[in-house]
Amino acid sequence: MTAVAAPTDPVRDRLLKGLHRAIEERGYRETTVADIVRHARASRSTFYQVFATKDECLLALMEAANRSLMRRISAAVDPAAPWPAQTRQAVTAYIDHVAASPALSLCWIREFPSLGPIAGQVRRESMNALADLVQRLSANEPFRRAGRAPLSRELALVILGGLRELTATAVEEGADVRELTETGVAAAVAFLGAAPPAPVAARPAPRGGLLLTDEQWARVRPLLPPARAAVGRPPAPQRQVVEAIVYRDQAGIPWRDLPPRFGAWQTAWKRHRRWSEDGTWDRIREAIGEDYTGSRKPVSTTVSGP
């Protein structure tokens, strides 16, 4: 290909938008340079000063569309949200991008590959860039707190490939791509949830002295409300429950990974949720004192999953 104008060139941008409108109007195969310059309000000579051929213009348009998709996903995802919510935000942004320009998406699927090796290179670069983005998102704090290991490149490509095929089929059949949002979200969440968890050894190691001293327990015990026991079962020892919560908070592990010596993890999880809601846990942390190294931020009572 010949050298083209800088990506920020307003004339180049107008020509790319002109091709985009022409594709939406009549498809790429039927689009001519005359159609492009008509939509761009430019001359043929201006077009050929920037692009050598219609195909070269399409290459530039697809590269710009892929950058736009990445910006859209990055802007849509709240890195502080629980990982299932982040997954929904990313998948929804992907599908909304496809739905906003179905003809361009159809061109990417059907016609763009016919441009030859250079088209294959652009497609690979696009998928690799998206995979990098997915990997970065899967490595943020909410994913780590849930015990999820960052996705490998191969797994990221599997998720993206599935979304691409799902939306491609809908576009080719003339269906409303947005109707697939829930299917795409459910599949991605299920896939991420089933991905190998982060190794326990890789998590931050808790400090020594995790168990409460007798002095600390003496300060904590009066703060605890009466334990609720299931019918026919004695209540779990209160000290064991408190120590389980402290251990989990300091170790930064999922509730399910609590060592067996702390009893059923569900008991600690439910008690922590209830105590966080009524303020008991804040008082317990203060009573434990400076030796407590767990998070001192307000504890969310919304539990996306233990």
The secondary structure of 221-247 as a DSSP string is GGGPPPPP--TTSPPPPHHHHHHHHHH
How far is residue 60's CA from residue 295's CA, in Å, rounded to a whole number? 48
Q: What is the pLDDT of residues 130-157, one digit of tens each?
A: 999 998 988 888 888 887 778 888 888 9
Q: Note whether 74 and 135 are same-domain residues.
A: yes
Q: What percent of the chain has pLDDT over 70?
A: 83
pLDDT band at 264 (very low <50, low <70, confident <90, very high): confident
Number of domains in the chain: 2
**Residue 100: inside a domain:** yes
Q: Note whether 87 and 178 are same-domain residues.
A: yes
Q: Note whether 174 and 94 are same-domain residues.
A: yes
How far is residue 236's CA from residue 270's CA, in Å, rounded to a whole number? 12
The answer to whether 33 and 44 have CB atoms below 8 angstroms apart is yes
Angle CA(275)–CA(277)–CA(281) in degrees, nearest 5? 35
Can you tell me the mean pLDDT for 212-229? 80
Q: Note whether 171 and 63 are same-domain residues.
A: yes
Would you state the pLDDT for residue 6? 42
Does pLDDT of 200 surpass 70? no
**Residue 140: inside a domain:** yes
Of the two residues 83 and 149, the one the predictor is more confident about is 83
**Residue 2: inside a domain:** no
pLDDT band at 268 (very low <50, low <70, confident <90, very high): confident
The structure's pTM equals: 0.61
Of the two residues 301 and 251, the one the predictor is more confident about is 251
Would you state the pLDDT for residue 209? 42
Does pLDDT of 87 surpass 50? yes
Angle CA(75)–CA(299)–CA(251) in degrees, nearest 5? 95
Domain of 137 in residue numbering reads as 53-194
Of the two residues 214 and 47, the one the predictor is more confident about is 47
Tell the burial category of 127 from Cβ atoms under 10 Å away from its Cβ (0-12, 13-18, 19+): middle
Q: Note whether 62 and 184 are same-domain residues.
A: yes
CA-nearest of 142, 66, 159 to 104 is 66
Q: Note whether 79 and 123 are same-domain residues.
A: yes
How far is residue 31's CA from residue 48's CA, in Å, rounded to a whole number? 16
pLDDT band at 58 (very low <50, low <70, confident <90, very high): very high
Does pLDDT of 99 surpass 90? yes
DSSP string for 20-35: HHHHHHH-TTT--HHH
**Residue 6: inside a domain:** no
Q: Note whether 91 and 168 are same-domain residues.
A: yes
Does pLDDT of 75 surpass 50? yes
Of 162, 194, 226, at which residue does a domain stop? 194
**Residue 29: inside a domain:** no
Of the two residues 289 and 169, the one the predictor is more confident about is 169
- Is residue 58 left, alpha or beta, with left meaning phi > 0 and alpha meaning psi from -120 to 50? alpha
Q: What percent of the chain has pLDDT over 90?
A: 34
**Residue 293: inside a domain:** no
CATH number of the domain where residue 130 is located:
1.10.357.10
Q: Note whether 57 and 190 are same-domain residues.
A: yes
Q: Note whether 185 and 214 are same-domain residues.
A: no
Q: Note whether 58 and 147 are same-domain residues.
A: yes
Tell me the backbone φ, ψ of residue 249, rounded to 5 degrees.
-65, -40
CA-nearest of 269, 105, 90, 117 to 192 is 90
CA-nearest of 240, 252, 155, 265 to 200 is 252
Q: Note whether 284 and 257 are same-domain residues.
A: yes
**Residue 96: inside a domain:** yes
Q: Note whether 59 and 139 are same-domain residues.
A: yes
Per-range mean pLDDT, top range of 28-32, 169-173, 276-280: 28-32
**Residue 251: inside a domain:** yes
Q: What is the pLDDT of residues 12-57, one digit of tens each?
A: 999 999 999 999 998 899 999 999 999 999 999 999 999 999 999 9
Query: Could you give the 3-state DSSP secondary structure of residue 148?
Result: strand
Q: What is the pLDDT of residues 106-135, one digit of tens each?
A: 898 888 888 888 888 888 888 889 999 998
